[in-house]
Structure 1
Amino acid sequence: MKAGSRFLNAVSAVALSAGVVSSSAGILILGSAAVAEAAVIQRIDVRGASRVGTEAVRSNVTIQPGKTFSNTDIDESVRRLYATGYFSDVKMSVSGSTLVVSVSENQLVNQVVFNGNRKIKDDKLTTIVQTQPLGPYSKELIDSDIKRIKEAYAAIGRNDVQVTTQVANVAPGRVNLAFVINEGDRTKIASINFTGNQAYGDSRLAAVIATKRSNPLSFLTRKDIYNEDKLRADEESLRQFYYNHGYADMRVISSDAALNEQTNEYTINITIDEGQRYKFGNIDVESSVEGVDANELKALVSTHSGDVYSAKEIQKSMEAISQRVSAKGYPFARVVPRGNRDMGTGTIGVTYMVDQGERAYVERIDIRGNTRTRDYVIRREFDISEGDAFNQEIITRAKKRLEALGYFSSVNITTAQGSAPDRVVIVVNVEDQSTGSFGIGAGYAAGGDGLLLEASVEEKNFLGRGQYIRVSAGAGTDNSQTYNISFTEPYFLGYRLAVGFDLFKSSTSSNDYYDYNELGGTLRVTAPITENLATTFRYTYKQLKYEGTDDWQTGLSQPYQDLVNGSPWVQSSVSQSLVYNTLDDRNLPHEGIYASFTHEFAGLGGDSEYYKLYGKARIFKSLSDEHDIIGSLSVGAGHVLPTGDNLNIFDQFQLGGKEIRGFENNGIGPRMTGFKDDALGGTTYFTVSAEASAPMPFVPQDAGLRIAVFSDAGTLYGNKVANSAGVQGEDMAWRASVGAGIVWASPFGPLRFDYAEPIVKEDYDRVQQFRFSIANQF
């Protein structure tokens, strides 16, 4: 009897709170705070859920029959029901031992359509909005969707987009929803103004930042889209530019964008304080880590007293020291540079402090922002994983690797506190960019082979897996044809081994005197040795076939005459290459070296027997920071030795316009006398080239146009193919050319047009003054 009284008292307490607990527009209304803590119901009665279903309501109610509940349970249940989006009103009341849940249902969306959109397609907008077919019709959700659509249009430079909705009833409780979009005009950038800059002009600084002024081709590049986050990134780019050129005190005082609503154009104003330019003063290394010799680490420092101050060189030194200390068994050691400014002498002394640092471990690596590239493609660039000791220099190295991939327009890595004081979460934010390209190469040889064309399609991040694939085809008016397919898996079996293959086929006809066909493939493996040095091993198999006239064969030595009778010739070779690369930029390097050396042996079966050595090195140097003048110098050489009885034309080196501009491909070196002086190739070559490029005068630097002047020289000599009486040009005669070119970082990719005039040549050389090439990004 007493137990029954306690239950009735509890129910009465709920009833006294006005008998009903209701919520409208998301506000919970309780008549009293005195809802009994010990209230118990035996049953839940759901009313009004005709479309959603009673079970869907009960699953969101935290109150369970036979268990006590409180105001907190009621509040949570109401919130859960509203969060589903299916209800416009929720009421709860207790009747006897029954909890009555009364709901008013929102209408359901039958179909979602988009009208007026052209710049962003339906499939993209569908992924942006949260209102979906068979989902609830919610005004709050639709307002949020409108905001999302506007943000998507702002990202492509259409800030004045207008979005409204239209609703049509199609059945009781069901509606069709249409988002009506007025895309408006593109919001452009009229000008970018710099204030406070003395050392560098506006044009030079405009080339540093990613945001560009609008121009007739901006609809392709999309670089004239204003974005606040992008402007903040531009500020950092300016700081790094100044820090790397001696201005350690540079500050961005302000940056803002003013929109002219009449013209729908932004004016961007950036105010900076350059400060004083410094050189490096005294450089030292100190270590507080027992067992680490500071004197030994000094050899790793790339900053030197008297050099122009550069934050990049300091970072490079820190990485080298950290890597060496970690290799010695000190994973938690950290390197901190301590600067000592002397404004009187304009120097900054740097002491690299090595200490044990705090013990911290990587809890996890969070990948964010990648819409196309797979997570594992990003994660594998880190030489660190969950549970490893945290090392800032390894994180910096991973950031450089991710940027070097060319998959992302931006890479930002930050850290966050983990679940414990000694746990760190690494947060990687990236933004995918286009990685496909379409390329066209062209050349013209007056009076020679005529027009030469090549087209190619490549993808550097195939299916977001980081794989590389390229397909190309070429043809010339001399009946030549080429076909190539390449594929590379950069991380074979999870190791940092780039494994790939190349398949190729080519054919050419030489003025009715011979036909040449080549078919083959290459297997290759590339492994890194250091961050800047890599080695590649290749196996190549070729099948070659010549068919020539009897007259043409008479000048050839045996057994080469057997080959031109139409018998296939097999070339089976292995090679190893070393590549050293310290370039600071893939597309427009200002500083660094790119060098390669290869040795190759043929004779693993097949008919060719030789040993080749060849290589090339090119160094880039900024000649003027203020005017952005870049100089480069390159040298190349090669030699082939027969390991059997003979060399053949395709075993020897060919040289021409790719190395010495002003000549056509295979345009210099030993040639057959008569019969149009067909190229035979040579056993030895040397090349040298010097070039300087600068922004084109009277053209805004952010247009991407540069002019170049160059001088090339080279020689190809030696012959092991034909009888001496039938060959000319076996001596070491040098050729040279001078020329000028126009380089454009176009929306289609780097485009170049060169004109070169040979100033030293032989009478039998073949000349090609004009050369054009283009690589198109899409």
Structure 2
Amino acid sequence: MRAFGGFVALAIMVLTLIAPDPAEAQSYRFSTVAIEGNQRIEAGTILSFAGIARGETVSAGQLNDAYQRILGSGLFEEVEVEPQGNRLVIRVTEFPTINRIAFEGNDKIKDEDLAGFIQSQSRQVFSPTQAERDANIITEAYAQNGRIAARVSPKVIRRSDNRVDLVFEIFEGRKIEVQRIGFVGNRAYSDRRLRRVIESKQTGLLRALIERDTFVEDRINFDRQVLTDFYNSRGYVDFRVTGTNAELARERDAYFVTFNVQEGQQFRFGEITTVSEYNGVEAEAYDDTLKIRPGVVYSPSLVENSIARMERLAIKNGVDFLRVEPRVTRNDRDLTLDIEFVLQRGPRVFVERIDIEGNTTTLDRVIRRQFDVVEGDPFNPRAIRQAADRIRALRFFSDVDVNAREGSRPDQVVIETDVEETTTGSVSIGASFSTNSGLGIQLGFSERNFIGRGQELTANILASADRVNYNLSFTEPAFLSRDVALGLNFAFVETENDNSLFDTAIGTFRPSLTFPIGENSRLGVFYNARYEDMSDYNGTSGILQAEVNQGDLWTSAIGYEYSFDTRRTGLNPDAGVLLSFGQEFAGLGGDSDYVKTTARIVGQRTIFNEEVTVRAILEGGAISFSNGQNSRFINRFNDQIMRGFEPNGMGPIEGGEHLGGDYFAALKFEAEFPLGLPDEYGITGGAFYDIGSIWGIDNQGAATGPVNSTGFEPRHVIGVSIFWTSPFGPIRMNFSNALKSEPGDEEQTFNLTVRTEF
């Protein structure tokens, strides 16, 4: 045992002697640090990145961390950290500066537009990472333009003095069009009707001139919301777009887009009640403002409008902080929604201020006047949302963002309005054609936001073979900071044998004021100064000759126009009514003394699940002179009041020449419907039946022969129409047949009109 113990002790001693010492971590202490290769970057800046002080002991790991920090600064293309005894050498190669930026291969997006997308700039330090990000941004811009196959590669060209040219090589590719748009799950409305709702369109004829048939993912997402709004406004409260499939064709040149929808059931309004939980506020007065009735198809917009009317009444009555909460009770058995409008006292919060940003052209006051509230008023979230909608409706901005945040105190909010300007002016060169006036040329200028004041200025010249029309108009939509539109219109029209045997010259100056007097009604008042001249008559009518002999006359008149329109804001989205009535009273100076009255009623609705639009139009007019004066052709009714007859082709006639009439009336029935053709053709059909007449003339004393058709003799016309929404503009062709006419009437069996701007 003693011998074994000694052997073990000896073995341990041997192993201990031959075992290596534990490895010690390598460390460095530098008395000097040298920076080499830097040209623009200060040595102290590089040392701050390294984080190594003279005389400090550092490990190899800390030395590697210093290397990573210098490289991670993004300022250097290469970095080398080399210990040399007690001296540390840091060698760097700086990224070059960008001498210039160029784009090659782009045709559809201009250089200046691409330059606005990227972050890399001339005379800045070149960053490969940033250049790659810029290439991706340009690629995304092309994808938003429908060119999803676009590729962008950043290339670097070395120059002297450590400079580079950054070149983005672009392969644009072709636009990917939407070949077909389909819907799955729709029963109430056809694919054709839903395709009319969304912004995306199928590829059609001459697609090179159409942009909405290009596949854009953001537009498809917008279409999902548009479909939801469309169904919700028609009572389908459970409607959902369950999915959207965009399948690329085998040739990779087109998409087939399918919207999967779930319609649900259509609901109508049930019981409508109003209750008050606001002390001192009676519900009856607010209930009287409601225009919703049980049985009407449910629409969220009708509920919103009702709440807005109640809140406006509260402001009028001096009731602050009133909020209206609609409580909805669903009745699945009879598919109705009971609405209980609850009047509540909202939180006591005030508007501290309204901040407006991003408007580089539009004045602050143009945006601010869209708000019904000012600093110090009670805060109403609904009113702010409505103001945001009004700002968007101006069409001055490509993007509008309105938010409310807490102000300097908990009971105050700051309304932040951020907008992005867009182009509001245009210069147009256009052409028009009709069988009545032939080929016409139009030159126009329009500015919807004149010098950023929200004013509209337009100037147009329209010339055809027999007519030249000059027009200049100006509109101030908020005259004296009120909801009153001031209009100034100057017009001058010259005709040369335009459907007559004499020439005319008419000049007008018409200032007007227009303002709302109800939710759907407006009233306009105007003054009309008018110059009229008839000359160069070469016919045989004694009446017309006597009127031409009067030479030029001046008219000074005042008048009003009233309109009531529910076609967009009424209770029924399928139907609407337009009523307009106006009178003009001449005799405030000038050479004429008359009263002129015109009226028009339009009623329309959609039937067969909105596939067919039917419309009825009743219109008429009368002019009556006093103080022994007689009307002239130039101020009588002589236009084309109904289809199937030429302009100035019906009514009183003497010696084979139409004289116009002091009265006219027309009743028109028409329908528009699909023809079963592919939607991409943009061709629909129509049918019409018109009844009308022009009659009456009080200047028969100058006649040299018999005057016919002076009484009310209704003409009857039946016909069909073809509508084509063409890339060149809307084209309408009417094929008509006069079922009843009078001797001397000039019938027109075909009429075509087209107008476009390019």
Scaled to the shorter chain, the TM-score interval is 0.7 to 0.9
**CA distance in 1 between partners of 2:597 and 2:278 (Å):** 46
Q: What does residue 318 of structure 1 align with?
A: 307
1:524 has 2:540 as partner: no
Q: What does residue 161 of structure 2 align with?
A: 172
**CA distance in 2 between partners of 1:196 and 1:345 (Å):** 23
**CA distance in 2 between partners of 1:590 and 1:438 (Å):** 36
1:270 has 2:276 as partner: no
1:443 has 2:421 as partner: no
Instruction: Write out aligned runs for 1:153-164 (5 A).
Output: 153-164=142-153
* Shift in alpha-carbon separation, 1:740–1:683, aligned structure 2, 3 A: same
Q: What does residue 530 of structure 2 align with?
A: 542
Q: What does residue 683 of structure 2 align with?
A: 705
**CA distance in 2 between partners of 1:52 and 1:688 (Å):** 84
**CA distance in 2 between partners of 1:366 and 1:219 (Å):** 43
* Shift in alpha-carbon separation, 1:536–1:80, aligned structure 2, 3 A: farther
What code does the residue aligned with 1:193 have?
G
Q: What does residue 9 of structure 1 align with?
A: none
Q: What does residue 672 of structure 2 align with?
A: 693
Q: What does residue 628 of structure 1 align with?
A: 611
Q: Given the alignment, which residue of 602, 627, 636 partners 1:618? A: 602
What code does the residue aligned with 2:474 have?
F
Q: Aligned with 1:318: secondary structure?
A: helix
* Shift in alpha-carbon separation, 1:773–1:380, aligned structure 2, 3 A: farther
**CA distance in 2 between partners of 1:20 and 1:492 (Å):** 77
**CA distance in 2 between partners of 1:367 and 1:303 (Å):** 37
Instruction: Write out aligned runs for 1:216-255 (5 A).
Output: 216-255=205-244
Give a deviation string over 1:615-667, Cα, whole Å, max 9, x none: 2121222223x25222222222222222332133256431442x311222232
**CA distance in 2 between partners of 1:328 and 1:263 (Å):** 64
1:728 has 2:719 as partner: no
**CA distance in 2 between partners of 1:568 and 1:236 (Å):** 59
Give a deviation string over 1:256-276, Cα, whole Å, max 9, x none: 434457514333332222112
Q: What does residue 382 of structure 1 align with?
A: 371
**CA distance in 1 between partners of 2:43 and 2:593 (Å):** 84
* Shift in alpha-carbon separation, 1:744–1:366, aligned structure 2, 3 A: farther
**CA distance in 1 between partners of 2:204 and 2:361 (Å):** 29
Q: Aligned with 2:136: secondary structure?
A: helix
Q: Aligned with 2:590: secondary structure?
A: coil
Q: What does residue 138 of structure 2 align with?
A: 149
1:714 has 2:705 as partner: no
Identity of counterpart residues, as a percentage? 31
* Shift in alpha-carbon separation, 1:458–1:764, aligned structure 2, 3 A: farther
* Shift in alpha-carbon separation, 1:513–1:267, aligned structure 2, 3 A: closer
Q: Aligned-pair distance for 1:537? A: 2.6
What code does the residue aligned with 2:666 have?
T
Q: Aligned-pair distance for 1:438? A: 5.8
What code does the residue aligned with 1:677 have?
E
**Higher deviation after alignment, 112-121 or 543-552:** 543-552
Instruction: Write out aligned runs for 1:644-663 (5 A).
Output: 644-649=627-632, 652-657=635-640, 659-663=641-645
Q: Is contact 1:117–1:181 with CA below 8 Å preserved after alignment?
A: yes
1:758 has 2:738 as partner: yes
**CA distance in 1 between partners of 2:342 and 2:624 (Å):** 53
Q: Aligned with 2:342: secondary structure?
A: strand
Q: Is contact 1:406–1:435 with CA below 8 Å preserved after alignment?
A: no
Q: Given the alignment, which residue of 482, 487, 494 partners 2:469? A: 482
Larger radius of gyration: 2
Give a deviation string over 1:731-772, Cα, whole Å, max 9, x none: 111123222223344445544332332222222222333333
Q: Aligned-pair distance for 1:214? A: 2.8
Instruction: Write out aligned runs for 1:428-577 (5 A).
Output: 436=426, 440-445=431-436, 451=438, 453=440, 455=442, 457=444, 459=446, 461-462=448-449, 465=452, 466-477=454-465, 479-492=466-479, 494-510=481-497, 513-548=501-536, 552=540, 554-555=542-543, 561=546, 564-565=548-549, 567-577=551-561
TM-score (norm 1): 0.79
* Shift in alpha-carbon separation, 1:736–1:770, aligned structure 2, 3 A: same
Q: Aligned with 2:288: secondary structure?
A: helix
* Shift in alpha-carbon separation, 1:128–1:554, aligned structure 2, 3 A: same
Q: Is contact 2:244–2:259 with CA below 8 Å preserved after alignment?
A: yes
**CA distance in 2 between partners of 1:632 and 1:188 (Å):** 35
**CA distance in 1 between partners of 2:734 and 2:747 (Å):** 14
Q: Aligned with 1:290: secondary structure?
A: coil
Q: Is contact 2:450–2:457 with CA below 8 Å preserved after alignment?
A: no
1:189 has 2:207 as partner: no
Q: What does residue 72 of structure 1 align with?
A: none
Q: Given the alignment, which residue of 642, 646, 662 partners 1:664? A: 646
Q: Aligned-pair distance for 1:571? A: 1.8
Q: Is contact 2:448–2:456 with CA below 8 Å preserved after alignment?
A: yes
Q: Is contact 2:158–2:164 with CA below 8 Å preserved after alignment?
A: yes
Q: Given the alignment, which residue of 632, 657, 661 partners 1:682? A: 661
Q: Is contact 2:503–2:537 with CA below 8 Å preserved after alignment?
A: no
Give a deviation string over 1:554-600, Cα, whole Å, max 9, x none: 446xxx84x624742112222222222333299xx953233322221
Q: Aligned with 1:663: secondary structure?
A: coil
**CA distance in 2 between partners of 1:748 and 1:136 (Å):** 49
Q: Given the alignment, which residue of 199, 205, 222 partners 1:210? A: 199
* Shift in alpha-carbon separation, 1:424–1:530, aligned structure 2, 3 A: farther
Q: Is contact 1:660–1:736 with CA below 8 Å preserved after alignment?
A: no
Instruction: Write out aligned runs for 1:329-408 (5 A).
Output: 329-362=318-351, 377-402=366-391, 404-405=393-394
Give a deviation string over 1:694-733, Cα, whole Å, max 9, x none: 2332322x65433222222222222123427443222111
What code does the residue aligned with 1:543 have?
Y
Q: Aligned with 1:277: secondary structure?
A: coil
TM-score (norm 2): 0.81
Q: Given the alignment, which residue of 626, 641, 644 partners 2:624? A: 641
Q: What does residue 592 of structure 2 align with?
A: 608
**CA distance in 2 between partners of 1:323 and 1:515 (Å):** 55
What code does the residue aligned with 1:347 have?
T
* Shift in alpha-carbon separation, 1:759–1:386, aligned structure 2, 3 A: farther
**Higher deviation after alignment, 515-524 or 363-372:** 363-372
What code does the residue aligned with 1:685 have?
F
Q: Aligned-pair distance for 1:462? A: 4.9
**CA distance in 2 between partners of 1:452 and 1:467 (Å):** 32
What code does the residue aligned with 2:198 have?
I
**CA distance in 1 between partners of 2:37 and 2:633 (Å):** 85
**CA distance in 2 between partners of 1:694 and 1:686 (Å):** 27
What code does the residue aligned with 1:442 have?
F
**CA distance in 2 between partners of 1:739 and 1:656 (Å):** 19
Q: Is contact 2:532–2:634 with CA below 8 Å preserved after alignment?
A: no
Q: Aligned-pair distance for 1:120? A: 0.6
| Alignment size in residue pairs | 700
* Shift in alpha-carbon separation, 1:577–1:430, aligned structure 2, 3 A: farther
* Shift in alpha-carbon separation, 1:438–1:548, aligned structure 2, 3 A: closer
Give a deviation string over 1:224-262, Cα, whole Å, max 9, x none: 344444333222221222222222222222234344575
**CA distance in 2 between partners of 1:602 and 1:87 (Å):** 83
Q: Given the alignment, which residue of 251, 266, 273 partners 1:284? A: 273
